[in-house]
């Protein structure tokens, strides 16, 4: 009786499979077994690729999920917040380093305020280059560029600079307070304060949004702090140049280390040491380290690009111009202070108190002017970059002979 029942069920299944309406419904259940048996008797190993593709269509008949596209507004958002951040920092510089300071902090002459403004405006090329890189990466159909380690680092450091700058604006009366008095170099209120806070926080929010979306979709939210810590730790232990005989990655390795040291001095160092490298006394000495931190991250990105032979590519040249621009503006301000400010060195008491650190910061900054091309004997990395650029512009050997 049991055997008869089994035969009856088997016949019913075969008969139902022959009926097209029901057979189509059962096909998805039979398909895994069919693939398994077919794969078991296949000899060609390459056929496993097709089997893998068949299995991807089994659950609900769906295909592989297409990669998500970059929102169209993103590149314009980067442009907007980049300009807003630049304008906000410029406003802080102009309104904080001015001639009508509180009693006991009067600017001695016009040149004094001018060269000090130029000194801290050296951050502007860095800001523009960072946002320029991210805007270029956002001008794409996929998240590939924005998901690169370089762009992720740039977004994270912009989150840090935005938050730190907003905190400085909010607590400026305390940070810039003149010792022994109730006066401060800077106090923002009303619409000006709200505009500055809005510029910095919007930049931080945009970079945080892009950084989060550049991660794999299944990344747990609670794992994000750990990712940041791991990434920072990995970068710190990777600062040393891989090839000490390659001067370009050595240059950017030294710049990364130097900018990190300058950042630590300004954040943790006591007055007057904290005025290095800004030379702005208590006015902006605690606000400027966010930009030397940005310079450190940018230098590290360029160091990694140099080691991969990509330092001369377009996106990395954007960052390289930012570092070089910082150096040009910063050194110009020091030349102006020493040779064109009649109040030097009398009205630079903090700088006079730490002359060795001041000289070291100037000498260090000259590294930013070093070219990314190695003299007459180009390394293989640079040669590959040049060949790539030639291909991009369609330069052929025939064109070279003509020239």
Note the pLDDT tens digit of each residue in 362-380: 999 999 999 888 764 444 4
Using alpha carbons only, give the angle 259, 260, 263 rounded to the nearest 5 degrees. 85
- With a CB cutoff of 8 Å and minimum separation 6, the contacts of 117 are 93, 94, 97
Rg value, the chain, Cα: 30
Q: Is the pLDDT of residue 402 over 90?
A: no
More confidently predicted of 395 and 169: 169
Residue 281 domain flag: yes
Shared domain for 24 and 82, answered yes or no, is no
Q: What is the pLDDT of residue 46?
A: 44
Q: What is the pLDDT of residue 17?
A: 46
Shared domain for 288 and 175, answered yes or no, is yes
Under the banding of pLDDT at 50, 70 and 90, the label for residue 396 is: low
Q: Tens digits of per-residue pLDDT, 262-315? A: 999 999 999 999 999 999 988 999 999 999 999 999 999 999 999 888 888 878
Picking from 320, 316, 321, the residue whose alpha carbon sits closest to that of residue 385 is: 316
Phi/psi of residue 80, each to 5°? Answer: -65, -50
Shared domain for 19 and 114, answered yes or no, is no
The whole-chain average pLDDT of the chain stands at 81
Shared domain for 34 and 86, answered yes or no, is no
Residue 335 domain flag: yes
Q: Is the pLDDT of residue 37 over 80?
A: no
Give the DSSP H/E element, type plus range, for residue 159: helix 149-170
Shared domain for 27 and 89, answered yes or no, is no
Question: What is each CA distance from 43 to 31, 46, 56, in whole angstroms?
Answer: 20, 9, 22
Give SS3 for 59.
coil
Q: What is the pLDDT of residue 387?
A: 58
Q: What is the pLDDT of residue 61?
A: 38
Count the helix, strand and coil residues of the chain and give each as a percent rounded to the nearest 5.
70, 0, 30
Shared domain for 32 and 171, answered yes or no, is no
Picking from 127, 101, 126, 125, the residue whose alpha carbon sits closest to that of residue 113 is: 101
Give SS3 for 177.
strand
Shared domain for 123 and 193, answered yes or no, is yes
**Weakest mean pLDDT among 32-41, 45-54, 84-93:** 45-54
Shared domain for 129 and 239, answered yes or no, is yes
Shared domain for 271 and 349, answered yes or no, is yes
Q: Tens digits of per-residue pLDDT, 176-222? A: 998 888 888 899 999 999 999 999 999 999 999 999 999 988 888 88
Q: Is the pLDDT of residue 226 over 50?
A: yes
Q: Report the domain count for the chain.
A: 2
Under the banding of pLDDT at 50, 70 and 90, the label for residue 15 is: very low
Q: Is the pLDDT of residue 29 over 50?
A: no
Q: What is the pLDDT of residue 398?
A: 53
Distance, in Å, from the CA atom of 117 to the CA atom of 94, rounded to the nearest integer, reads 7
For 30, the token pair is 């039979």
Q: Tens digits of per-residue pLDDT, 140-152? A: 888 999 999 999 9
Mean pLDDT value across residues 308-331: 91
Crossing angle of the two packed helices 314-340 and 355-365, in degrees rounded to 10: 140
Q: State which residues form the domain around 23.
A: 2-42
Shared domain for 82 and 28, answered yes or no, is no
Residue 65 domain flag: no
Residue 11 domain flag: yes
- Highest-confidence segment of 1-15, 80-94, 128-142: 80-94
More confidently predicted of 263 and 398: 263
Residue 381 domain flag: no
More confidently predicted of 302 and 99: 302
More confidently predicted of 293 and 53: 293
Q: What is the pLDDT of residue 310?
A: 85
Mean pLDDT value across residues 7-36: 46
Residue 66 domain flag: no
- With a CB cutoff of 8 Å and minimum separation 6, the contacts of 142 are 67, 68, 69, 70
Residue 319 domain flag: yes
Residue 48 domain flag: no
Q: What is the pLDDT of residue 31?
A: 54
Shared domain for 126 and 199, answered yes or no, is yes
Under the banding of pLDDT at 50, 70 and 90, the label for residue 3 is: low
Q: Tens digits of per-residue pLDDT, 79-90? A: 999 999 999 999
Shared domain for 347 and 210, answered yes or no, is yes
Crossing angle of the two packed helices 74-96 and 190-213, in degrees rounded to 10: 140
- Please report, rounded to a whole number, the percentage of residues in the chain having pLDDT higher than 70: 74
């Amino acid at each position: 009786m049991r055997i008869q029942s089994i035969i009856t069920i088997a016949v019913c299944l075969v008969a139902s499979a022959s009926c097209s309406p029901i057979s189509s419904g059962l096909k998805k259940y039979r398909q895994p077994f069919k693939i398994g048996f077919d794969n078991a008797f296949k000899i060609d190993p390459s056929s496993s690729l097709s089997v893998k593709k068949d299995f991807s269509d089994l659950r609900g008949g769906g295909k592989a999920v297409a990669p998500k596209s970059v929102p169209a507004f993103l590149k314009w958002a980067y442009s907007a917040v980049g300009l807003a951040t630049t304008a906000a920092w410029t406003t802080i510089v102009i309104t904080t380093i001015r001639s009508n300071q509180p009693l006991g902090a009067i600017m001695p002459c016009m040149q004094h305020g001018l060269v000090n403004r130029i000194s801290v405006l050296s951050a502007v090329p860095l800001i523009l280059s960072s946002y320029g890189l991210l805007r270029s990466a956002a001008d794409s159909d996929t998240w590939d560029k924005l998901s690169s380690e370089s762009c992720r680092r740039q977004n994270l450091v912009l989150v840090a600079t935005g938050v730190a700058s907003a905190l400085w604006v909010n607590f400026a009366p305390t940070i810039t307070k003149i010792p022994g008095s109730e006066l401060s170099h800077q106090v923002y209120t009303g619409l000006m304060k709200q505009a500055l806070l809005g510029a910095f926080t919007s930049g931080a929010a945009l970079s945080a949004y892009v950084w989060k979306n550049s991660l794999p979709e299944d990344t747990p939210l609670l794992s994000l702090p750990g990712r940041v810590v791991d990434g920072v730790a990995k970068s710190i232990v990777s600062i040393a140049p891989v090839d000490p005989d390659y001067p370009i990655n050595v240059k950017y390795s030294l710049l990364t280390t130097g900018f990190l040291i300058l950042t630590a001095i300004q954040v943790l160092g006591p007055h007057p040491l904290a005025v290095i490298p800004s030379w702005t006394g208590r006015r902006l000495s605690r606000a400027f380290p966010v930009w030397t931190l940005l310079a450190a991250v940018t230098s590290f990105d360029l160091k990694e690009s140099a080691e991969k032979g990509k330092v001369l590519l377009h996106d990395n040249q954007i960052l390289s111009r930012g570092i070089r621009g910082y150096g040009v503006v910063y050194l110009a301000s020091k030349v102006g202070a020493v040779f064109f400010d009649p109040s030097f060195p009398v009205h630079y008491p903090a700088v006079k108190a730490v002359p060795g650190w001041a000289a070291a910061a100037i000498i260090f900054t000259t590294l930013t002017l070093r070219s990314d091309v190695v003299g007459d004997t180009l390394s293989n990395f640079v040669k590959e970059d040049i060949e790539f650029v030639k291909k991009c512009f369609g330069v052929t050997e025939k064109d070279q002979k003509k020239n």
